[in-house]
Structure 1
Amino acid sequence: MFKKVTNKEELSDAFSIRREVFVHEQGVPIENELDSYEEVATHIMGYAENREPFAVARFRPYEDVAKVERVAIKSSYRQGGNGRQLMQFVEEVAQKEGYSALVLNAQCQAEHFYLSLGYEAEGEVFLEENIEHIRMTKQI
């Protein structure tokens, strides 16, 4: 089940997944993981049937589009279409909030995944937290 975060407990679940995936798995410093956009971003959570939090994403206003960030899924849930369902839910919520386009900085290892969802790569590969990324966009 995917939902928009509406309380501090859900936001804490989101931060917990981000710490697990970005800080512990990928080595991003914790002080770089949480940022000044937490308050203005719309956070999305995924919960399993047993109520275990397993997926997170956020988007925020960026120029004239929504910027999708901090997309993470616990390793044991990375199969079975969970990532696709998460991103479809993010797109639905962003569209309901009035956005017609999304931009994201995809880790290069996930570029094919985003291409399969209709995103288009733009520009050159760049480093963010010592991980190769590429800018991608999609009209929704």
Structure 2
Amino acid sequence: MALFGFGKRKKQQAAIDFEKQTGEEGKIYDDAKAVRNAVFVDEQGISQDLEFDGHDDQATHYVGYENDAPVVTARVTKLDKDILQIQRVATIDWARNKGYARALMDQITEDAKADGYRSLYLEAQETAVSFYAKQSFEVFGQPFLEANIWHRKMERELYPED
């Protein structure tokens, strides 16, 4: 039996702690805002007016912490009683490729299923479509331009057995 496992590396579990809060008050939102500023405003050149669009007060903000440092975030809003929208998924540059965004998406999916949602919806930057496709999101509709970046609409149906 050992022969079959030789040379295979086990997928390492991301060492990260998640916290979430609704609204714009408090440390978690401040940390989410810092990550979004670093990634979207500083790195990608999106204006703060577009990034902070006035909808954060009604959203739930997730932040992942590595050794108490905020490294990954997402904003989640309810579209209707069955659909949850995921937005503003961002990982600090030095924390990328560690599985943190994947772990964050897993946490959001788990929470959505526990809360009775039937599907997840997002608008992915074109460069991130393959990341979401690996997590069972499917592209639909035509590409569209937002903040001078091409995006695709994607959805994932949630089933109890997922």
- TM-score, scaled relative to structure 2: 0.81
Does the alignment pair 1:59 with 2:60? no
> CA shift at 1:78, angstroms?
1.0
Q: How many residues align?
A: 139
**Greater Rg, structure 1 or structure 2?**
2
Q: Which stretch has the larger CA shift, 128-137 or 92-101?
A: 92-101
Structure 1 residue runs of 5 or longer lacking an equivalent are none
Paired residues for 1:1-140 under 5 Å: 1-5=17-21, 8-48=26-66, 50-63=67-80, 64-140=82-158
- Name the CA distance, whole Å, in 2 between partners of 1:81 and 1:12: 23
Q: Which stretch has the larger CA shift, 129-138 or 64-73?
A: 64-73
* Percent of residue pairs bearing the same amino acid type: 37
> CA shift at 1:118, angstroms?
0.4
- Name the CA distance, whole Å, in 2 between partners of 1:59 and 1:99: 12
Q: Which stretch has the larger CA shift, 67-76 or 35-44?
A: 35-44
**Residue 131 of structure 2 aligns to which amino acid in structure 1?**
F
- Name the CA distance, whole Å, in 1 between partners of 2:113 and 2:62: 14
Structure 2 residue runs of 5 or longer lacking an equivalent are 1-16
Instruction: String of CA shifts for 1:70-104, please: whole Å, max 9, x gaps.
Output: 00000111112111101101111222222110100
- Name the CA distance, whole Å, in 2 between partners of 1:66 and 1:127: 22
Cα pair 2:28 2:61 within 8 Å, conserved: no
- Name the CA distance, whole Å, in 1 between partners of 2:118 and 2:62: 18
- TM-score, scaled relative to structure 1: 0.94
Aligned-partner SS, 1:79: coil
- Name the CA distance, whole Å, in 2 between partners of 1:97 and 1:82: 22
